[in-house]
Amino acid sequence: MHVNQLNLDSWGSYNKAFEESLKAISAGHMVIYPTDTVYGIGANATDANAVRKVNEAKGRENKPISLLVSDFTMMSKYCKTADVPFNLLQELFPGPVTGIFFKNYDLPSEITAKDTIAIRIPHHHFVLCLVRKLGFPITSTSANLSGGKSPKVIEEVPDSLKTLAKVVIDGGRCCYGMESTIIDFTKKKPEIVRKGADFDRINSTISSSTH
């Protein structure tokens, strides 16, 4: 089994991982990458064929997939954030949060067939720089098989996914080691719909902002 697995342990290996990931995603392939929460599978989120590969690799039905963006400028291109206080967004992003917003872009139905979209800005230098360089969002879905455990270290990523990915990035143990907390910002008041990483702080931040 040949897997193009790279690490971020030195400037040389970091740069190679960055360039190989850039080429792979630009060409429509999948990359397994680390974040602050768990390892994810990344592909061009604006390319229906690339997103379809992610679903097929995971053995999942065509359920909505989150976007990973690099910053608020990219976020505002794909979703509507005007009704959310900007200071609240700044306190939550980047971080272990996935936000549900009304979409502001005609994305492939493989990403979402609804009028809403889920978006992440993780607190992880490598992937943020990668997406900023790409200039478009990538998929943000756990590097596991459908229903399986979300991997916090590269060794927990199933071999079947590693062989299907063009590049596998070993960034060590993920900081939180659990899925992000999901917040629905389409409600009148932001509502937590999944308790995940750093829940207590996030819940406190939202509670204080709505009083």
Supply the pTM of this predicted model. Answer: 0.95
Q: What is the tens place of the pLDDT at every residue in 134-174?
A: 999 999 999 999 889 999 999 999 999 999 999 999 999 99
pLDDT of residue 63: 83
Laid out side by side, the sheet with 66-68 consists of 5-7, 167-170, 31-33, 40-42, 138-142, 66-68, 116-120, 97-102, 181-184, 191-194
Mean pLDDT score of the chain: 94
200: containing domain: 5-209
pLDDT digits (tens, 9 = 90+) for 90-130: 999 999 999 999 999 889 888 987 899 999 999 999 999 99
| Total domain count, the chain | 1
- Of 58, 52, 100, 112, residue with least CA distance to 75: 100
Backbone phi and psi for residue 44, each to the nearest 5 degrees, phi listed first = -60, 110
CATH number at residue 138: 3.90.870.10
Interatomic CA distance for residues 211 and 197, integer angstroms: 23
200: pLDDT confidence band, cut at 50, 70 and 90? very high
